[in-house]
């Protein structure tokens, strides 16, 4: 991996040609084609640099939520971890379905991350919510789980089909799991519980399945949802909770 320093930002990439792109982004020398998300938690936009489209993402929660910023002192951070993990999955495990991450950058103050972004490939495609395309995503996810990798937000909106009808995976850090298959079950339960009522469950229902199911139910508890909603509103107002 190549590392470069520019205007207080640490730039990371596996290909030197992307360093200039990172510098242009830091200098705001790009045009926004379309904003996909602009919230206190995340900024995601299709941008254009020298007639080439990319997707720019700023994961803001990392320096908005105190406990996550505290952990950033000891960890790579979301941007750098995503760059490492996704490139490993594409080039070591040959999962070409992942949207490629070209570079990551972060700024640290006293060791804590205070700003970061990643630059990804732009895929011209669409989300397909029918059972056939959901099943394609499920079968792909089973292959990824077999390498002890999980998605973390396994739902149809994070899978896009390009003009050739090839699937592409979005919005994941590609983290690993090793103790049991709790994470694999949680992925599948998320798809089934949130988006695919008539899904045929693909795994045997073991202890980790029931544990994941209980946590999924608890997360949907109305009282916990209200607490989460008010915490989010307070964070959006600047409260450090």
Residue pLDDT, tens place only, 118-146:
999 999 999 999 999 999 999 999 999 99
Residue pLDDT, tens place only, 36-47:
988 888 899 999
Q: Which of 181, 143, 137, 142 is nearest to 160 (CA)?
A: 137
Element (H, E) at 38: strand 31-38
**pLDDT > 70? residue 234:** no
pLDDT on residue 64: 78
User: Which pTM was predicted?
Assistant: 0.86
pLDDT on residue 55: 97
Q: What is the mean pLDDT of residues 205-220?
A: 93
pLDDT on residue 29: 96
């Amino acid at each position: 991996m190549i590392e470069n320093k520019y205007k207080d930002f640490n730039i990371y990439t596996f290909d030197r040609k992307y360093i200039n792109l990172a510098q242009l982004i830091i200098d705001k020398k790009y045009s926004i084609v379309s904003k996909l998300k602009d919230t206190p938690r995340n900024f995601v936009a299709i941008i254009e640099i020298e007639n080439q489209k990319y997707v720019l993402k700023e994961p803001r929660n990392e320096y908005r939520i105190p406990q996550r910023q505290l952990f950033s002192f000891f960890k790579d951070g979301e941007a750098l971890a995503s760059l490492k993990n996704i490139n490993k999955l594409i080039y070591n495990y040959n999962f070409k379905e992942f949207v490629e991450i070209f570079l990551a950058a972060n700024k640290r103050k006293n060791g804590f991350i205070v700003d970061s972004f990643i630059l990804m490939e732009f895929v011209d495609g669409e989300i397909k919510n029918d059972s056939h395309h959901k099943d394609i995503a499920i079968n792909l996810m089973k292959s990824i789980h077999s390498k002890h990798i999980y998605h973390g937000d396994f739902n149809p909106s994070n899978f896009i089909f390009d003009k050739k009808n090839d699937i592409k995976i979005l919005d994941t850090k590609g983290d690993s799991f090793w103790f049991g298959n709790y994470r694999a079950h949680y992925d599948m339960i998320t798809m089934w519980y949130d988006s695919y009522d008539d899904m045929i469950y693909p795994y045997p229902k073991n202890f980790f399945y029931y544990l994941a199911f209980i946590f999924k139910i608890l997360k949907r508890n109305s009282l916990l949802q209200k607490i989460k909603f008010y915490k989010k509103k307070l964070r959006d107002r600047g409260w450090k909770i």
